[in-house]
Amino acid sequence: MQYFNNLIMRKTIFLAAIATLFACNASEKSDYLVKYGGSELEGTAPGYKNSKGEIVVEEAKYGYCFTDTITKMGIVRTHEASYLGIDVKGNILFEIYPFDNGPDYEQEGLFRIQKDGKIGYANMDGEIIIQPQFACAFPFEDGKAKVALACEEVFDEDEYTTVHSDEWFYINTKGDKVE
């Protein structure tokens, strides 16, 4: 009988430890936002609520919400068609560089951002990795990106935009100039 009592006691302690671990993990993961509301018929974009159900970003504040659940950073489009990175508190982190009728794509862990007409790079955690400083910048490929401090945008008759510079150089994912 003592054996069964010890076994039950060990199982109870084990289950209590597991429950404590789940509770700790749940509290750590409670800092997130989830899309709510919005109506395609009415043309309104959703907003975001936190894990407690509190509204953090009001419905229709933005023109479109790309991210369903924000754990670190989400992407939204303003009514004026700018793309923004926002955090779990609804704060604007940075403006995302527009590309191909949407926000820039992540490549090799980074995507382009812009500020005051200059381009830099951020990661999907919402951290600015390379401060905006380039007039023109391409996405990363094989660990480096082609950038220029001065360049010119050229629009052609097919509505395509190309960029030209005589001063292109490459940087690595830390922003250091490389060959």
**pLDDT tens digits for range 45-97:** 899 999 999 999 999 999 999 999 999 999 999 999 999 999 999 999 999 99
* Separation of alpha carbons 52 and 36, rounded Å: 13
Structure tokens that stand for 156 in this block: 């052609």
Domain regions of the chain by residue span: 98-179
With b meaning 16 or more CB within 10 Å and e meaning fewer, what string describes 112-125? bbbeeeebbbbbee
The yes-or-no verdict on residue 27 having pLDDT over 80 is no
The SS3 of residue 10 is helix
> Rounded to two decimals, what is the model's pTM?
0.79
Q: Rounded CA gap, 150 and 79, in Å? A: 30
Largest CA distance in the chain: 89
Closest CA to 32 of 66, 78, 73, 77: 73
Q: Is the pLDDT of residue 157 over 70?
A: yes
